[in-house]
Amino acid sequence: MQRVLIIGTGLIGASVGLALRAAGFQGDIAGWDRNPAEAETALRLQAVDAVAAEPVAAAKASDVIVLATPVLAILEWMLRLGPELREGQLVTDVGSTKQQICACAVANYNRPGRAEFLPGHPMAGKETFGAAVAEAGLFQGAMWLFTPLGDAGGEWRSWVAKFGCRTLDLKPGRHDELVAWASHLPQFLATALTAALEDEFGASQDLRAVGGRAMREMTRLGASPYSMWRDIAETNIKPIAATLQAMEKRLAQVRKQLAKASLRDEFDRANRFRGRF
């Protein structure tokens, strides 16, 4: 692996570039972003060595192509690059949902004459976004999930390990079910809570005066960008809807228990889970 192209040089893409350098990668790292300012920021931060003038041409000249865009754009790039790349190249992604990406990979990669594809998902990020907040250590200690379709990407896996990541292989459906609970539900709960606070209190200084650590922690994800979460919602509808429905039932149950001793059971269950986490 001597040449890497990162398509999408926002928080995750630029952090991948920085992590590669921090881990000792000596090859060339090019970047491209539909927003030229993001690519220039990644270049200024030395997350990439050069900004690609034309992404398809840059991809054809690369050994590894990292698709670090929102999920729907990942799918578009997979279709666009599939016929252009050659056997011996590797494409990998950082998308937050996997079933549609894996289906697209089966149809367009991992066959004679075509590039390999290794679906991936680093469980790392921030509520802020963009190359300006990228970090070489963003993935340190994080879980990098893979939903492999074969034996592709062994060298890329070794670099991910050098980032300080733990790794776990999952089936695509299991991945989407788990992250719906572990990542997507917390985001949508935070978004709903923060939006409700905006409707109820707006710019009220009283709420800000009394809102302490609990409110800051519970609303932190409310700052997350719609541009990313739109794609996640659209490509993981059933698992996310199931978690939201389960939470609606749970909240209704808690509401009925507010003046009952059985409310203790909810706290006991929550304490047990948190203690194991």
Write out the two tokens for 84. 């252009």
| 3-state SS class at 132 | helix
Rounded CA-CA distance 232/72 in Å is: 8
Specify the DSSP class assigned to residue 46: T
Average confidence (pLDDT) per 10 residues, the chain, 277 residues? 97 97 97 97 98 97 97 98 97 98 97 96 86 96 96 94 97 98 96 95 89 90 90 97 98 96 95 93
Name 75's Cβ contacts closer than 8 Å, sequence gap at least 6: 100, 101, 104
pLDDT at position 78: 98
Domain housing 159: 3-170
Amino acid at the residue 39: A
Instruction: Give phi and psi for 122, each to the nearest 5.
Output: -75, 125
Contact 48, 134 (CB under 8 A): no
Domain boundary among 147, 170, 193: 170
How many other β-carbons are positioned within 10 Å of the β-carbon of residue 219?
18
Residues 88 and 219 in one domain: no
pLDDT at position 41: 97
pTM of the model: 0.91
The tally of domains found in the chain comes to 2
Domain boundary among 139, 170, 201: 170
Longest alpha-carbon distance in the chain: 67
Residues 142 and 166 in one domain: yes
pLDDT at position 209: 87
Closest CA to 66 of 102, 113, 30: 30
Residues 15 and 126 in one domain: yes
pLDDT at position 212: 87
